[in-house]
Amino acid sequence: MELRWIFSFFLLASSLYGHVSGKECTNIPTQLSSHTVRAQLMSTTNQTWKAQMLSYYHLNPTDESAWMDLRPRNLRNKEAPMEEFDWLMLYRSMKGFGGVNMRQQGRNFLDEVSLHDVRLDPDSMYGRAKQTNLEYLLLLDVDRLVWNFRHQAGLPAPGEPYGGWEGPNVELRGHFVGHYMSASAQMWASSHNQTLYEKMSSVVDALCDCQKKVGTGYLSAFPSEFFDRFEAIKSVWAPYYTIHKIMAGLLDQYILASNVKALQMVVGMADYFGNRVKNVILKYSIERHWTSLNEETGGMNDVLYRLYRITNDPKHVVLAHLFDKPCFLGLLAVQADSLSGFHSNTHIPVVIGAQMRYEITGDPLYKEIGAFFMDIVNSSHSYATGGTSVSEFWSDPKRLADTLSTENEESCTTYNMLKVSRNLFRWTKEMAYADYYERTLMNGVLSIQRGREPGVMIYMLPQGPGQSKARSYHGWGTKFDSFWCCYGTGIESFSKLGDSIYFEEKGTTPSLYIIQYISSSFNWRSAGVVLSQKTKSVYSFDPYLQISIRILTNQSTSQSSTVNLRMPSWTSLDGANVTLNDQNLPLPSPGNFLCVARNWTSNDNLTLALPLKLRTEPIKDDRPEYGSLQAVLFGPYLLAGLTSGEWDIKTGNSSSISDWITAVPASYNGQLVSLVQEANGKILVFSNSNGSITMEEWPAEGTNSAVHATFRVIFQDSNRPHSLATKKMKTKTATAQNDAILEPFDLPGMVVAHQGPSNGLAVSTAATADSMFSVVQGLDGRQDTVSLESSSQRGCFVSGGVDYSYSAGAKVRLICSSNSDVAFRRAVSFTPVSGLKQYNPISFVAKGAKQNFVLEPLLSLRDETYTVYFNVGA
């Protein structure tokens, strides 16, 4: 224990020494740590600003004696010959514990299951997200991906390079290609798509040619001079960050696709960069090397620890430890929450590498570092999505209310935090980590794709009131001209959606942990069975997560094995039910596993019905004035309200959340309609424009305009068929049976009302006689149109303006005229179509102070404006 704290003290001292404060732990200013700012610097024409920013890049003077104990004696003699450098001796000196323990000491970790053995249901939301990603991976061209590598190596480079952050003048170029190799390996393991296999193999072959041409083991899309600048503490954009991606991609190609060539390439790269690090230490000091780590290095420690697992070469584990950033890990080692001001995605991968160090060496300090880090991020720095960071950085702990904006939750941080929680679950089996993984994958990952559009993803996930995924600084990316860091982690996230559903505990009696309920199949080889998991679609009006798990085997009985079913913390025993072959099983309390052990036979069937509860969750901010800011969740689903910024909810004296949030019934989608007219070759649609009703151009799907062009038609006669879009009107004369009100989709409880003849229509807060309209067959005589006659002003009809020279943006009015006027009859006739916006199966209405809100899962939204946190008060 004493030695552990000595080492902890050393790590902390290295972070606080000199005039580099713990919160800075870096020689570069906060802004320059941001990838977004770096990209701006690369493209700016403002040389004054660029010079000012880069002037901060310097080597801080430090007392080298603070680091002397870390350096082998022969390295303290600057005249010692280079060949005396001993990696193992350096390791022993760095560790300071008098030895190296490279063996796992019988630790009981859960095993990852192979992606080759997991298949997602293509009709599930996860299966659709995976397919969208596969389509994007197949769109990308090999020659364009490797163009910069070939150009750098002096080889012919056919075609042209991609743009964005893979552009030939961008210093980070090559990073996405590394991600592509990882993602394609994961996707191939998940699908065995032969076209993808050939494409990814061609990428590896091309990069191998580049590495051979250079001849030193070096492989990158940029020149090695970038590392000269890195080692001299001069401005350069994170070259080791890119190298990590390339090495990780090649390692994944070996592990998942058995590409031996890829492993040889990684070893060559490790040798090359090991020599570079060695030379820095020989020429300067270990301190100088660690000072250079103030520039982002990605997960270099992680990939090198992973490489050591395969090679057992001590050089690799030593080099990995040299990338364990001590000034950051030291703060975590003494359990100090000093994350504020750190660039989030620079440091989360360092923690992942520290976790891998624990798995390799068994050093418990690094297990505790990972657990403490996860605890402080989750308790003080994370949003209701599970994500973290604002403008790429951590803010002060429990001060998130001030950070709500367009620039929340960099997608890369979500990708990496999932790795941290996954490792912790494998080590501990603690439900909190499984709950976190489910929440963050569902809300933080599935939210970043734009529907089924391949290659369209976001960088940030906005959390501010009235924000939109399309309105962040980066907005939605494009297929071939973005390639941000978050595009790289994005394609990986959607390629490995099946890697954390099942975990295995091997032994005499195999045991399986099912921690996510995602429709999929798993070939459980050690137990000799195949599990087929089917999760039914979730509906707000039927608040249960319903799962069936069928066991298939070719044998009459299989060996004894245990299936551990997760009882999520968000569920309740009230109404819960689990059966085995229709026999009820006793249930543990939520937050535990239900263990079912038996000799499984073919067609054994487990079913689960887990209640989904509505609940609110306060923002992580301990100031009393922000205590009313609450997110709304339905089981693991984070609900967002469709609103342009309004966020006040009044609960009154209600004792239950169900008093002010109600489920949208299944029948409501049949009542949704959009009213269309054609004018001047354009299709115009009846729309709510800031409270006034206007005719607007046909909107794109997933936009505010589509929301505002959708109305719920509520007939006063409850026995009347409700759908205008599928029923032809038989009645030409207004009757009470046809009287209806029009409710704007995103303003439940409000209605459309006229303001007298010749005046415009507007949205009103309460139904009156002026908001009632009789729906009759279109006065233009067509069978597929309808007209809306005012119930309070008979003979007056709602007019969209066709044949009155109205254009997009023109007000919809109540017009009284003779039915013999052809232009009038056309102007008051609309073609009803199914609502351009539909209620998500998980939809609710929440009562607001000034308006009510439609709530639906954040993951389902595209360009619509929404609010995640509401100001909830009595």
pLDDT digits (tens, 9 = 90+) for 750-785: 999 999 999 999 999 989 999 999 999 999 999 999
> DSSP of 579-604, one letter per residue?
EETTEE---PPTTEEEEEEEE--TT-
**Is pLDDT above 80 for 806?**
no
Q: Which of 65-69, 552-556, 735-739, 804-808 has the lowest mean pLDDT?
A: 65-69
Residues 6+ apart with CB under 8 A from 782: 829
Q: Which of 34-48, 510-524, 638-652, 752-766 has the lowest mean pLDDT?
A: 34-48
Tokens of 500: 């954390």
Q: Looking at residues 139-156, what average pLDDT do you find?
A: 98
Q: For position 28, what pLDDT does the model report?
A: 46
Exposure string over 464-480, b if 16+ CB within 10 A, otherwise e: bbbbbbbebebbbbebe
**Is pLDDT above 80 for 416?**
yes
Q: What is the signed CA dihedral for 93, 95, 101, 106, rounded to 10 degrees?
A: 180
Q: How confident is the model at residue 318 (pLDDT cuts 50, 70, 90)?
A: very high
Q: How confident is the model at residue 25 (pLDDT cuts 50, 70, 90)?
A: low
Specify the 3-state DSSP secondary structure of 652. Answer: coil
Q: Looking at residues 488-511, what average pLDDT do you find?
A: 96
**Is pLDDT above 60 for 729?**
no
Tokens of 120: 């997602």
More confident of the two residues 44 and 424: 424
**680 conformational bin, left if phi > 0, alpha if psi -120 to 50, beta if neither:** left
Contact 277, 319 (CB under 8 A): yes
Q: For position 789, what pLDDT does the model report?
A: 95
Q: For position 681, what pLDDT does the model report?
A: 80
Specify the 3-state DSSP secondary structure of 206. Answer: helix
**Is pLDDT above 60 for 4?**
no
Q: What is the pLDDT of residues 283-300, one digit of tens each?
A: 998 989 989 999 999 999
Q: For position 603, what pLDDT does the model report?
A: 87
Q: For position 79, what pLDDT does the model report?
A: 43
Q: For position 797, what pLDDT does the model report?
A: 95
Please compute, for residue 503, the number of CA atoms within 13 A of its CA located in the half-sphere on the CB side: 21
Q: What is the pLDDT of residues 225-259, one digit of tens each?
A: 999 999 999 999 999 999 999 999 999 999 999 99
Show the 3-state SS of 361-400.
HCCHHHHHHHHHHHHHHHHHCECCCCCECECCECCCCCEH
> DSSP of 281-310, one letter per residue?
HHHT-HHHHHHHTTS--TTHHHHHHHHHHH
**Is pLDDT above 90 for 177?**
yes
Cα angle: 646, vertex 650, 652; to 5 degrees: 175
Distance CA 768, CA 750 (A): 11
Contact 194, 238 (CB under 8 A): no
Q: Looking at residues 403-424, what average pLDDT do you find?
A: 97
CA–CA distance from 650 to each of 653, 654, 655, 670 (Å)? 9, 10, 12, 29
User: Residue 388 CA to chain centroid, in angstroms?
Assistant: 11
Q: Looking at residues 657-665, what average pLDDT do you find?
A: 94
Instruction: Write the burial class of residue 556 (CB in 10 Å: 0-12 exposed, 13-18 middle, 19+ buried).
Output: exposed
Domain 502-535+544-611 class, CATH top level: mainly beta
Q: Looking at residues 828-847, what average pLDDT do you find?
A: 96
Mean confidence (pLDDT) of the chain: 88
Query: First vs last Cα of the chain: how many Å apart?
Result: 52
Distance CA 188, CA 447 (A): 23
Distance CA 114, CA 460 (A): 30
Architecture of the domain made up of 65-493: Alpha/alpha barrel (1.50)
Q: Looking at residues 463-471, what average pLDDT do you find?
A: 96
Q: Which of 50-64, 653-667, 859-873 has the lowest mean pLDDT?
A: 50-64
CA–CA distance from 489 to each of 114, 122, 250, 779 (Å)? 20, 22, 15, 56
> DSSP of 588-651, one letter per residue?
PPTTEEEEEEEE--TT-EEEEEEE--EEEEE-SB--GGGTTEEEEEETTEEEEEE-SS--EEE-
Task: Show me where the domains of the chain are located.
Answer: 65-493, 502-535+544-611, 614-664+843-873, 666-834
Contact 123, 132 (CB under 8 A): no
Q: How long, in residues, is the chain?
A: 874
Q: Which of 9-13, 43-47, 426-430, 497-501 has the lowest mean pLDDT?
A: 9-13
Q: What is the pLDDT of residues 329-359, one digit of tens each?
A: 998 998 988 899 999 999 999 999 999 999 9
Residues 6+ apart with CB under 8 A from 747: 688, 763, 851, 852
Q: Looking at residues 486-515, what average pLDDT do you find?
A: 96
Q: What is the pLDDT of residues 680-728, one digit of tens each?
A: 788 999 999 999 999 999 999 999 999 999 999 999 876 655 556 544 4
Please compute, for residue 360, the number of CA atoms within 13 A of its CA located in the half-sphere on the CB side: 27
Q: For position 336, what pLDDT does the model report?
A: 85
Distance CA 523, CA 189 (A): 13
Q: How confident is the model at residue 36 (pLDDT cuts 50, 70, 90)?
A: low
Q: For position 71, what pLDDT does the model report?
A: 36
Q: Looking at residues 470-483, what average pLDDT do you find?
A: 95
Q: Looking at residues 782-791, what average pLDDT do you find?
A: 94
Q: How confident is the model at residue 817 (pLDDT cuts 50, 70, 90)?
A: confident
Angle 47-54/35-43 helices, nearest 10 degrees? 140
Q: For position 62, what pLDDT does the model report?
A: 32
Nearest residue to 571 via CA among 527, 660, 633: 633
Distance CA 369, CA 15 (A): 15
Tokens of 377: 């991020």
Tokens of 244: 């990590």
pTM of the entire predicted model: 0.90
The correct CATH number of 666-834 out of 2.60.40.420, 2.60.40.790, 3.40.640.10, 2.80.10.50 is: 2.80.10.50
What is the helix (H) or strand (E) element at residue 710, kind and residue range? Answer: none
